[in-house]
């Protein structure tokens, strides 16, 4: 599978955020999407997820050699600020999610087995979600997307709220999933992107650019990324 972005343009009043962003994302890769604050990473994700309508441009999926329109069922989106039903316990939320999506879920497991995947402790499983920390709410977001198993995952700064141990667990989970997915990982942490991602994509000046990793050691690679990000200053 491939996700194709063609000349995506998005303006807010007179501010040009995306200026013809184009890229081909391929299954089996974790892509690190890097950009300065305000570069438009979340705007790009919202356009892919159809939460925002671009001013022009198009999205498509190529599957088994056939191009088709991108649909909502293709995408899972983990927001940087998690949105969960805070009036439910974690167990109630998971049961509700499984009940309404049961016919779409392959290899269905028990609720407690799903909690184990995300290392959510037994004493936390019956707490109200309003009492969860930011990181715990983010875990629940990650969990329902893991269960739904869409082929394209958009992850907007998902690991920044986790402690070191949990972040390492999440990285292992994402690596284990990448073979059957396109994973696009937005972050402002350069070291995390270099460590986790197969490909680095820079959003600068409203366009997307892949930074080639081959034949570079980590220090050279990081210098190339920083140099590309500095290009944003020239556009301001």
In the sheet that holds 15-26, the strands lie side by side as 15-26, 2-12, 56-63, 66-69
Task: Report, as an integer, the average pLDDT of 208-223.
Answer: 73
Cα–Cα distance between 9 and 169 in angstroms, integer?
36
pTM of the model: 0.89
Asked whether the beta carbons of 228 and 209 are under 8 A apart, the reply is yes
The b-or-e profile of 175-207 (16+ CB within 10 A means b, else e) is eeebeebbbbbbbbebebbbebbebbbbbbbbb
Q: What percent of the chain has pLDDT over 70?
A: 94
Helix axes 134-148, 90-101, angle to 10 degrees: 20
Please give the pLDDT value at position 235: 45
Task: Report, as an integer, the average pLDDT of 198-217.
Answer: 82
Cα–Cα distance between 192 and 101 in angstroms, integer?
33
Cα–Cα distance between 91 and 129 in angstroms, integer?
9
Domains with residue ranges and CATH for the chain: 2-86+153-235 (3.40.50.300)
11, containing H or E segment: strand 2-12
Q: Which residue has the tokens 């892949």?
A: 210
Cα–Cα distance between 63 and 27 in angstroms, integer?
10
The string of pLDDT tens digits covering residues 163-186 is 788 788 888 889 999 999 999 999
Alpha carbon distances (Å) from 236 to 5, 21, 36, 118, 206: 24, 18, 12, 42, 11
Please give the pLDDT value at position 23: 98
The string of pLDDT tens digits covering residues 10-42 is 999 889 999 999 999 999 999 999 988 888 999
Structure tokens at 198: 């197969």
User: Residue 236: is its pLDDT beyond 50?
Assistant: no
User: Residue 117: is its pLDDT beyond 60?
Assistant: yes
Please give the pLDDT value at position 217: 60
Cα–Cα distance between 24 and 14 in angstroms, integer?
28
Q: Read off the pLDDT band of 214 (50, 70, 90).
A: low
Provide the mean pLDDT of the chain.
Answer: 89
Which of the given ranges, 87-91, 164-168, 186-190, has the highest pLDDT on average? 87-91
Cα–Cα distance between 114 and 145 in angstroms, integer?
11
């Amino acid at each position: 599978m491939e996700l194709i972005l063609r000349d995506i343009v998005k303006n807010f009043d007179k501010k040009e955020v995306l200026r013809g962003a184009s890229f081909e994302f391929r299954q089996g890769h974790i892509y690190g999407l890097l950009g300065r604050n305000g570069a438009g990473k979340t705007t790009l994700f919202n356009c892919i997820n159809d939460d925002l309508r671009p001013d022009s441009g198009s999205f498509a999926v190529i599957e088994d050699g056939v191009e088709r329109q991108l649909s909502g069922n293709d995408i899972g989106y983990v927001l940087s600020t998690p949105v969960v039903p805070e009036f439910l316990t974690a167990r109630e939320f998971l049961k509700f999610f499984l009940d309404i999506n049961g016919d779409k879920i392959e290899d269905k497991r028990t609720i407690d087995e799903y909690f184990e995947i995300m290392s959510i402790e037994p004493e936390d499983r019956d707490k109200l979600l309003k009492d969860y920390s930011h990181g715990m709410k983010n875990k629940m977001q990650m969990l329902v997307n893991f269960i739904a198993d869409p082929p394209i995952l958009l992850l907007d700064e998902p690991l920044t709220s986790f402690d070191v141990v949990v972040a390492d667990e999440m990285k292992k989970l994402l690596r284990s999933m990448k073979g059957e997915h396109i994973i696009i990982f937005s972050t402002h942490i350069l070291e995390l992107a270099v460590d986790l991602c197969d490909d680095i994509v820079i959003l600068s000046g409203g366009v997307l650019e892949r930074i080639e990793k081959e034949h570079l050691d980590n220090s050279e690679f990081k210098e190339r990324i920083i140099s590309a990000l500095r290009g944003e200053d020239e556009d301001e």
